[in-house]
């Protein structure tokens, strides 16, 4: 903190308005603050819409309930996918970008006008998409695979959202530029900002793919030009669809580092390693769209293998590095605070009652153990034969983008909402259990989907009975998914109610420090020491990552075994 207070004197632009945060002592640019609030609150509204859709879907796929009629099921799948994966995530990420480019490096936002343009385009686009879906004129799933065709407004809305986001990303980079130019900080960017910058770079490439695929499709839907090739569409669409997941991963990991620091004082053991891992994301994700085309015609085996492994496994390496450095930094901080009993003694002393911390920790566990392991396995060219388009696929990504990214973002909101709105968080007891409910629920959803999928149950299918082949086990797992969904959606609603309630009714702090969620304490009688130079001290992390690797290998080879049992096919 002392380092920063030196810069607190003024922001780069003397005319810019700012305030000093009464809790952290950080300088907050008011322009940035407004857009962090706007984007975060809109994000939460889309999360709510997506959550309502989620429960309708889950209760339809749970065959015992089979809630929605057929046309509404597909309409709501489309609605859920776009509101969650695109709108909730993108709006929240823009908020994170504005935060990361201003507050940690004591800068002002480059331009509030640009921020308005970005926000307005995104919002108008999202509303257009939602209206046209609910009017039943875009029952095409979020992927809208050609020759399926939606109303032109659907594509136009998506283009607006993508371009609006690009403009927001531009604002982020311009802010970094003026901060550097005006020397608002000395030395290198903080790790959080660095991670956000990695996410932003990938976002640019991603959104350009979106523009490349959506413009001709929009033009075709208007009857101006010929139909784009459906296979070309798939390849470019997944350049958007998959790469954007790497944006989510990079942003999520940046949030892990941030929350680990705020809740336990953790410092990266080696900044070089953490930063290099972010660079790996940027360098090696470009062709990961390949692993959505693994059983497609038209792309050969060499192309698939090269683009899944060259592009993916070094990005996987990056995630595995973070999976070590994040817990290791927390462990060393805890040991430094005197929690040294055995291998795992430090875990008991973690601030588990802090919802931001528990959200980040659960996010790391669910993302790593479930989302990551299943993702790499399903993304293996041959194993994809026994997984493509089954419920195993949503089973996987509900553990990455929901149990991982969404939960991490919720954790961040527990810090950011009170600090920016300057109101104490309401119903703190409920907030403390919310991440556990959401994480537990989504884990059940993911497990239920994954097992039902390995029994052959297809994704995006209203009714599995006409096939007449799915037995009680498949139905049981759909039930597990349904129960998990009830828990997860209840927790999601709780999160929304708590956030909105805090914004409207939280007690204003009026210049006093915000009530804290609770950070890791120094052990009684111990003196805080830095263990950053002990390179073998993280025994607990070593044990955890060993277990992780074991689970990974077992799951991976079990899937090869399952593949070997089906008919020979080429």
Partner 1 sequence: MSLHVPERDWYKAPAGAEKLWIGVALLWCFVMSLMMPYWHFRGKQNADSETYAVEPAAFMERTERFVADNRVGEIDGVPVVEPPPGGEAYLLARMWSWYPILKLRQGETYRIHMSSTDLQHGFSLQPLNINYQVIPGYDHVITMTAATAGEFIIVCNEFCGIGHDRMIGKIIVE
Q: What's the closest the beta carbon of residue 319 comes to ligand HEM, in angstroms? A: 18
Q: Which is nearer to partner 1, 164 or 190 (CB)?
A: 190
SS (H, E, C) 245-291: HHHHHHHHHHHHHHHHHHHHCCCCCCHHHHHHHHHHHHHHCCCHHHH
At residue 451's C-alpha, the angle toward residues 447 and 455, to 5°, is: 165
| Number of other CB atoms surrounding residue 20 within 10 Å | 13
Nearer of residues 55 and 191 to partner 1, judged by Cβ: 191
Cβ(488)–Cβ(445) under 8 Å? yes
Which of the choices ligand HEM, partner 1, none does residue 346 contact, using the CB cut-off of 5 to 8 A by kind?
Answer: none
489 binds, among partner 1, ligand HEM, none (CB under 5 to 8 A by kind): ligand HEM
Among ligand HEM, partner 1, none, partner that 382 touches (CB below 5 to 8 angstroms by kind): partner 1
Minimum gap (Å) between residue 257 Cβ and ligand HEM: 21
Minimum CB–partner distance for residue 250 and ligand HEM (Å): 15
Residue 230 or 342 with smaller CB distance to partner 1: 230
**Cα 14 to Cα 410: distance, rounded to the nearest angstrom:** 34
Minimal distance in Å, beta carbon 46 to partner 1?
Answer: 22
Instruction: Tell me which residues touch ligand HEM (CB under 6 A).
Output: 50-51, 54, 57-58, 61, 77, 80-81, 84-85, 88-89, 141-142, 394, 398, 401-402, 406, 442, 445, 459-460, 485, 488-489, 492
Residue 205 CB, shortest distance to partner 1, in Å, is 22
Q: Which does 488 bind (CB under 5 to 8 A by kind): ligand HEM, partner 1, none?
A: ligand HEM
Q: Is 71 helix (H, G, I), strand (E, B) or coil?
A: helix
Phi, psi of 390 (to 5 degrees): -90, 175
CB nearer partner 1, residue 252 or residue 381: 381
Specify the DSSP element, H or E, that contains 27. strand 27-29
Q: Is the dihedral of CA 382, 386, 387, 388 positive or negative?
A: positive
* Rounded CA separation 397/459 (Å): 12
Q: What are phi and psi of 265, to 5 degrees?
A: 75, 15
Nearer to ligand HEM, 54 or 426 (CB): 54
Q: Which is nearer to ligand HEM, 268 or 403 (CB)?
A: 403
Angle (CA) 435-441-446 rounded to 5° is 120
Please report how close the Cβ of residue 256 comes to partner 1 at its closest, in angstroms.
9
Q: Which helix (H) or strand (E) holds 213?
A: helix 191-221
**Which 8-state DSSP code applies to residue 507?**
P
Q: Which does 268 bind (CB under 5 to 8 A by kind): partner 1, ligand HEM, none?
A: partner 1
Give the shortest CB-145-to-ligand HEM separation in angstroms: 10
Q: CA gyration radius for the chain?
A: 23
Nearer to partner 1, 510 or 567 (CB): 567
State which residue, 467 or 547, has the beta carbon closest to partner 1.
467
Which partner, ligand HEM, partner 1, none, binds residue 80 by CB below 5 to 8 Å per kind?
ligand HEM
CA dist., res. 249 & res. 405, Å (int): 7
Q: Which does 398 bind (CB under 5 to 8 A by kind): partner 1, ligand HEM, none?
A: ligand HEM
Give the shortest CB-302-to-ligand HEM separation in angstroms. Answer: 29
Q: 145-172 burial, b if ≥16 CB within 10 A, otherwise e?
A: ebeeebbbbbbbbbbbbbbbbbbbbbbb
Residue 192 near which of ligand HEM, partner 1, none (CB within 5-8 Å, type-dependent): partner 1
């Amino acid at each position: 903190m002392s380092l920063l207070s030196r810069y607190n004197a003024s922001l780069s632009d003397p005319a810019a308005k700012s305030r000093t945060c009464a809790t952290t002592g950080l300088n907050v640019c008011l322009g940035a603050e407004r857009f962090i609030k706007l984007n975060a609150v809109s994000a939460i509204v889309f999360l709510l819409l997506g959550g309502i859709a989620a429960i309708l879907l889950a209760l339809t796929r749970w065959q015992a309930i089979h809630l929605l009629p057929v046309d509404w099921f597909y309409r709501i799948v489309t609605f859920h996918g776009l509101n969650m994966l695109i709108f909730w995530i993108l709006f929240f990420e823009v908020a994170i970008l504005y935060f990361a480019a201003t507050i940690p490096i004591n800068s002002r936002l480059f331009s509030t006008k640009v921020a308005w343009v970005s926000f307005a385009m995104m919002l108008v686009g999202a509303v257009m998409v939602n209206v046209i879906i609910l009017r039943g004129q875009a029952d095409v799933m979020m992927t809208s695979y050609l020759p399926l065709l939606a109303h032109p407004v659907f594509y136009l809305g998506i283009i607006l959202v993508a371009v609006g986001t690009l403009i927001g990303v531009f604002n982020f980079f311009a802010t970094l530029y003026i901060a550097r130019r005006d020397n608002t900080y000395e030395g290198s960017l903080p790790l959080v900002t660095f991670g956000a910058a990695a996410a932003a770079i990938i976002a640019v490439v991603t959104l350009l793919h979106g523009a490349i695929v959506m413009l001709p499709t929009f033009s075709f839907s208007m009857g101006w030009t010929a139909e784009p090739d459906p296979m070309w569409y798939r390849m470019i669409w997944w350049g958007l669809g998959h790469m954007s997941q790497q944006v989510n991963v990079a942003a999520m990991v940046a949030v892990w580092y941030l929350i680990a620091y705020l809740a336990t004082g953790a410092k990266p053991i080696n900044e070089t390693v953490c930063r290099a891992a972010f660079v790996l994301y940027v360098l090696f994700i470009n062709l990961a769209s390949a692993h959505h085309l693994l059983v497609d015609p038209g792309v050969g085996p060499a192309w698939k293998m090269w683009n899944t492994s060259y592009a993916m496994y070094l990005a996987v390496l990056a995630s595995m590095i973070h999976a070590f450095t994040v817990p290791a930094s927390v462990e060393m901080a805890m040991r430094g605070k005197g929690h040294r009993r055995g291998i795992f003694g430090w875990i008991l002393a973690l601030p588990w009652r802090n919802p931001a911390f528990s959200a980040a920790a659960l996010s790391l566990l669910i993302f790593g153990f479930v989302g990551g392991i299943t993702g790499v396995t399903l993304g293996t060219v041959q194993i994809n034969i026994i997984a493509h388009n089954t419920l195993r696929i949503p089973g996987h990504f509900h553990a990455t983008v929901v149990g991982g990214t969404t939960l991490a973002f919720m954790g961040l909101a527990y810090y950011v909402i009170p600090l920016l709105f300057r109101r104490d968080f309401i119903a703190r007891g409920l907030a403390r259990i919310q991440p556990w409910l959401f994480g537990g629920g989504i884990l059940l959803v993911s497990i239920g989907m994954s097992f039902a999928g390995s029994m052959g149950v297809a994704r995006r299918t209203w009714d599995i009975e006409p096939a007449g082949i799915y037995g009680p086990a498949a139905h049981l797992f759909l039930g597990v998914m349904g129960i998990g969904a009830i828990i997860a959606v209840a927790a999601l609603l709780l999160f929304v109610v708590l956030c909105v309630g805090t914004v409207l009714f939280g007690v204003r702090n009026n210049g006093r420090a915000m009530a804290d969620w609770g950070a890791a304490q120094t052990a009684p009688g111990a003196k805080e020491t830095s263990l950053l130079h002990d390179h073998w001290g993280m025994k607990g992390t070593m044990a955890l990552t060993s277990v992780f690797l074991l689970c990974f290998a077992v799951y991976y080879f079990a899937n090869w075994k399952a593949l070997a049992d089906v008919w020979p096919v080429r």
